[in-house]
Amino acid sequence: MVRMIRILGLASILGTAILSTALTAQEVREPKATETAERLAAALGGREAWDGTRYIQFDFRVGQPDALPAGRRHLWDKWEGRYRLEQDRDGKKQVVLFNTNTREGRVFVDGQEVTGEAADESLEKAYGAYINDTYWLAMPWKWLDPGVNLRYVEEAACGEDRCDVVQLSFEEVGLTPGDRYLGFVSKESGLMVRWEYTLESGRTGAWDWDYVETGGLQLAKTHVNAEGLHIDMGEVAASDTVDESLFEDPESSL
């Protein structure tokens, strides 16, 4: 599994791929930590709802709340791996249509197809954006994935609430298995309201999470750090149907 955080051009590999499940590592999970993770999964809408959702649309925009850039626009077919990524590049509209399972696809700039090494590079970057941005969208859904160790740390204050704090580590999976996360799960809502991480490199970070309900799921809506930087996921929407041309026609728009 591969996890990645990419903010303002600063890339840090944080671990686990959104879709990978074929792992041989045996995770270690403390009972109270597992109980907290299961309570979190239920508050998010339940695994059945997550698995039964086919399409998710969202944005990824980083900046101050009063000056958010256009960022990246995503459409994800969770069942078949089809993907559409739109973004503005130097005043031009880039559209990447690819499959997350094969990493193969096509790249268009202002409707004109890009080929050769330029296309390969754009496809690689688009796959990285998918890994990174979907993790910011759905990290709380990943606690019970194979290879994720869970250890209960403590009960702690989180604002006016009380939270169960669980450490997530990774059993021989990911590019940086030495990374450690702390997830703060609200006793009131059952949701993860804060995420702190210490990377293998020694870099640290902390973000508060807000959610939006869509299609029976709770997905991230906004993240805020101590400096007031926002990661905004735009108009998040989970659905059973979409306009199929979005996965084929670069002239369509999200």
Q: Divide the 254 residues of the chain into consecutive groups of 10 and give the mean pLDDT of each group.
A: 41 36 65 97 96 97 88 97 94 95 96 96 95 94 92 94 94 65 97 92 92 97 95 96 96 90
Nearest to 134 by CA among 89, 206, 174, 75: 75
pLDDT of residue 5: 46
Q: What is the pLDDT of residue 9?
A: 35
Determine the pLDDT at residue 67: 83
- Contacts (Cβ under 8 Å, ≥6 apart) of 186: 158, 161, 162, 163, 192, 193
Of 204, 203, 159, 202, residue with least CA distance to 184: 159
CB 140 within 8 A of CB 162: no
pLDDT for the residue numbered 3: 46
In this structure, the chain runs to a length of 254
- Read off the tokens for 223: 């993240």
Dihedral over Cα of 204, 125, 136, 143: its sign: negative
pTM, whole model, 2 decimals?
0.86
**How remote is the C-alpha of 119 from its chain's centroid?**
24
Shortest CA distance to 79 belongs to which of 249, 242, 252? 242
> Where in the chain does DSSP place strands (E)?
3-7, 10-15, 55-63, 72-77, 82-89, 92-99, 105-109, 112-114, 148-158, 161-170, 180-186, 192-198, 204-214, 217-224, 230-232, 237-239
Sign of CA dihedral 36, 17, 253, 80: negative
Q: Which fold has domain 26-247?
A: outer membrane lipoprotein receptor (LolB), chain A (2.50.20)
* 15 contacts 34 by C-beta, under 8 angstroms: no
Q: SS3 sequence, 102-152?
A: CCCEEEEECCEEECHHHHHHHHHHHHHHHHHHHHHHHHHHHCCCCCEEEEE
Q: What are the residue boundaries of the structural domains of the chain, listed by start? A: 26-247
pLDDT at 139: 94
Q: In this predicted structure, what is the pLDDT of residue 89?
A: 85
